[in-house]
Amino acid sequence: MQDLVRQEVFKACQTVIVKIGTNVLTTDTDRLDLERIQCISDQIFRIQQTGRKVVLVSSGAVGAGIGILGLNRRPDSLPALQATAAIGQPQLMRTWNDALLKNGLKTAQLLLTGNDFRNRQRYLNVRNTLRTLFDFGVVPIVNENDTVSIKEIAVGDNDQLATMLATLLPDPLLVILSGIAGLYDGPPSNPASVVIPLITKPDESLLRLAAVETSTRGRGGMGSKLKAILAATGMGETVILASGRSDTVLDDIREGNTTGTLFLAKGEAVVSWKRWIGFGAPPAGVLVIDSGATTAVRESGRSLLAVGITKVQGEFESGALVGLKTSDDTEIARGLVNYSSDEIRRIQGRRSDQIAAALGHVPYGEVIHRDNLALIGN
């Protein structure tokens, strides 16, 4: 059934980011599901035919490697997981390439780590590469570089990766294809539970609907998906969570039919510079701020002054990205500091006209200028 809101959502997007989980792409025997991949590829072609660009975020490298090696279960150790991903990634890419090529679509592989988003120059390089691939008419296929990724440089999972990619692209629609039909109002295993078709105001309360179990073959679960969705909607982007096992799921989204759960964006889209500040890189430290500063930053769009800072957590230099938290440990924003952590500790709680007495100089009147602040809370 067509839905006017969904029709407008698809009409407004320039780029469709399709994230597909391992449980969608592999069979019960951990082999790649060739029929499913071809079905999705055909639908991607039809989206391309509308003039929109498609980025495919594909899990499945480890799952494909498990199948090739004939393993009975997912490896536990990091070296074994990385080796399994290295074995499975070429088959995964070859399978997507063959499936998309049947409709004349060429593919390109991008293997990324968290550092590609944390470093501003590398972040921009990824964006420029994606734009050039679009100019060539190529479908970028993106995955985390599991072979070299460790905890310190990991993105997290492909739900998070897809959200980070949304910070790079113009007018994106993020589509997360899962093994279930959408967000349920209760346990999916309960026959009385039904899919919620529309979430108009996504917030942290949705996390209570997440199942505690994670995927058996992938890394993410519903909790991970919802966190990624909240980050994306917080940037002003719309997300659809739907079943990748439906033979018409992308066609339904293209036509504006009701499928899965539609999460509407929270407010206007965030400008690209603030997207990177708020969502592209992890903070090097934290500034705890009082209620007055919270109101000034969150409600009035003001710069952060030293007088509103009550505590400094972590060690960082001037220019570092830090998180802003309230006294109850709620993160409301992130920004680039004008002072180091040592300097902020010396001026915290002081008025701007008292900074010179504490530091001997006043290079900036604010600790974080409003142009270098990005709100991330509700």
Superfamily in which the 283-375 domain is placed by CATH: PUA domain (2.30.130.10)
Least trusted range by pLDDT, from 72-76, 152-156, 284-288? 152-156
pLDDT digits (tens, 9 = 90+) for 198-209: 999 888 778 777
State percent of the chain over pLDDT 70: 93
Give the pLDDT confidence score for residue 219 in this predicted structure. Answer: 52
**What CATH number labels 4-274?**
3.40.1160.10
Place of tokens 């009147």: 365
Give the pLDDT confidence score for residue 152 in this predicted structure. Answer: 42
Q: Could you tell me the residue ranges of all domains in the chain? A: 4-274, 283-375
**Sign of CA pseudo-dihedral 265, 268, 274, 276:** positive
Does 212 score more than 70 pLDDT? no
Q: Is the pTM of this model over 0.75?
A: yes
**Where residue 153 falls among pLDDT bands split at 50, 70, 90?**
very low
Does 16 score more than 60 pLDDT? yes
- On whether the CB atoms of residues 118 and 156 are closer than 8 A, the answer is no
SS (H, E, C) 327-378: CCCCEEEEEECCCCHHHHHHHCCCCHHHHHHHHCCCCCCCCECHHHEEECCC
Least trusted range by pLDDT, from 10-24, 25-39, 240-254, 294-308? 25-39
Give the pLDDT confidence score for residue 238 in this predicted structure. Answer: 94
Least trusted range by pLDDT, from 83-92, 215-224, 298-307? 215-224
Distance (Å, whole) CA 78 – CA 152: 13
Q: Region 96-102: what's the mean pLDDT?
A: 97
Does 108 score more than 90 pLDDT? yes
Nearest to 287 by CA among 318, 234, 333: 333
Give the pLDDT confidence score for residue 278 in this predicted structure. Answer: 79
241 SS3 class = strand
The residue ranking higher by pLDDT, 234 or 245, is 245
Q: Region 235-256: what's the mean pLDDT?
A: 95
Q: Return mean pLDDT, the chain.
A: 88
**Where residue 214 falls among pLDDT bands split at 50, 70, 90?**
very low
Give the pLDDT confidence score for residue 195 in this predicted structure. Answer: 93
pLDDT digits (tens, 9 = 90+) for 126-150: 999 999 999 999 999 999 886 665 5
With 0-12 CB in 10 A as exposed, 13-18 as middle and 19+ as buried, what is 316?
buried
Least trusted range by pLDDT, from 156-160, 217-221, 374-378? 217-221
Distance (Å, whole) CA 31 – CA 335: 44
pLDDT digits (tens, 9 = 90+) for 30-45: 778 999 999 999 999 9
